[in-house]
C-alpha cells in the first residue's frame, strides 16, 4: 500500500470532510452509494470538488435506525475502502465499533469518527492509539432531556472523551471534537450549542461541525433533506466563524467555497 496523505490541520484554512454513506437507510442519501462502484464515483467527484477528507459510514446513526453488527458493517465498508485508498484524499471511518475501526485503519484509514466519543466500545481508544490515527470524538446522549444545560453537558462529554484518549496515548493534536448536532438534543438545544460553539475552543483541540441536511435545519425551514443546502451552509458558516476547523458535509463544492471565504476572512478581515 502506498503512503497515505497526512491530515494537516491549519487554523487559518478550514477543511471539508465529504460524507460517503454506504448504507441502505441513511436519512439523506441512503441507498444511493451502497454499491462500491457508485461509492467510488461519488468519492472521486467529492475529491475533485475539493474535499480533503472522505468519511465512509457503513451504519446509519439517524434516530430510529436499525443497528447492524460489525460483520455487516465491514461487508459494506471494506470493498469501498480498498479502492478509496488509491485516491489522493485522507480517509475516515464513521464507526463506533473497535473491530471495524481496526480493520479500516489496517487499510490506511487515518481518522476514526466515533459518534460515541470513545465511550461506547471500551477497546476503541486503544485501537486508535495503536494505529496512530486521528479520532473525532462526538458528544452524544442516550436520551433527549430538554431541561439540562446542553452546553455544559457537551463540555462534560468532551472532558470524558479527552480523558479516555489521553489515557490511551492519543496525542492531543490528533483529538478532534464534535458537539454532535442532532444527537440527543432538542431543536432548541442544537441552536444553543451553535450559539456557544466558540466556547469549545477552550479545549484546545480541533473542532468539527456536522449539521449537513439535518432536522435542525429541516424543522426550521419545513423542507426535505435534499432541499437543505442553504440551511446547511448557514449553520456551518456560523460555526466556522466561531472556530470550526473541519466541516462534514454532503454538498462538497459549496462548502469548499464557504471555507475559502472564511479563510479569507480569517486572513484579512481580523483587526490588527
**Is the separation of the CB atoms in 205 and 177 below 8 Å?**
yes
DSSP string for 106-172 = HTT--EEEETTTT-S-TTHHHHHHHHT-EEEEE---SS--TTS-HHHHHHHHHHHHHHHHHHHT--G
Asked if 214 is an active-site residue, the reply is yes
Q: Please count the CA atoms within 13 angstroms of the CA of 156 that sit on its side-chain side.
A: 8
Please tell me which residue in 102, 164, 213, 214 is annotated as part of the active site: 214
> How far, CA to CA in Å, does 226 sit from each of 35, 81, 181?
20, 26, 18
Options 205, 248, 253, 266, the catalytic residue: 248
Judge whether 154 and 200 are in contact, CB under 8 Å.
yes
Residue 243 CA to residue 261 CA, distance in Å, equals 14
Query: What residues act catalytically?
Result: 214, 248
Amino acid at each position: 500500500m502506498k503512503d497515505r496523505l497526512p491530515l494537516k490541520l491549519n487554523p487559518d484554512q478550514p477543511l471539508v470532510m465529504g460524507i460517503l454513506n454506504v448504507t441502505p437507510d441513511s436519512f439523506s442519501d441512503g441507498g444511493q452509494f451502497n454499491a462500491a462502484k457508485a461509492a467510488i464515483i461519488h468519492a472521486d467527484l467529492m475529491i475533485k470538488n475539493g474535499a480533503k477528507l472522505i468519511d465512509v459510514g457503513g451504519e446509519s446513526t439517524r434516530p430510529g435506525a436499525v443497528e447492524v453488527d460489525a460483520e455487516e458493517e465491514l461487508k459494506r465498508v471494506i470493498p469501498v475502502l480498498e479502492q478509496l485508498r488509491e485516491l489522493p484524499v485522507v480517509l475516515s471511518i464513521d464507526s463506533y465499533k473497535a473491530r471495524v475501526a481496526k480493520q479500516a485503519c489496517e487499510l490506511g484509514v487515518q481518522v476514526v469518527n466515533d459518534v460515541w466519543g470513545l465511550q461506547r466500545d471500551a477497546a476503541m481508544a486503544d485501537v486508535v492509539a495503536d494505529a496512530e490515527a486521528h479520532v473525532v470524538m462526538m458528544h452524544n446522549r442516550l436520551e433527549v432531556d430538554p431541561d439540562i444545560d446542553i452546553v455544559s453537558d457537551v463540555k462534560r462529554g468532551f472532558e470524558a472523551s479527552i480523558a479516555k484518549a489521553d489515557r490511551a496515548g492519543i496525542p492531543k493534536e490528533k483529538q478532534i471534537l464534535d458537539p454532535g448536532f442532532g444527537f440527543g438534543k432538542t431543536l432548541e438545544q442544537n441552536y444553543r450549542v451553535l450559539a456557544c460553539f466558540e466556547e469549545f475552543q477552550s479545549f484546545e483541540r480541533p473542532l468539527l461541525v456536522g449539521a449537513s441536511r439535518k432536522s435542525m435545519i429541516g424543522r426550521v425551514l419545513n423542507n426535505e433533506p435534499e432541499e437543505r443546502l442553504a440551511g446547511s451552509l448557514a449553520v456551518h458558516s456560523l460555526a466556522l466563524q466561531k472556530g470550526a476547523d473541519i466541516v462534514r458535509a454532503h454538498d462538497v463544492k459549496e462548502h469548499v467555497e464557504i471555507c475559502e471565504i472564511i479563510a479569507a476572512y480569517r486572513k484579512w478581515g481580523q483587526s490588527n
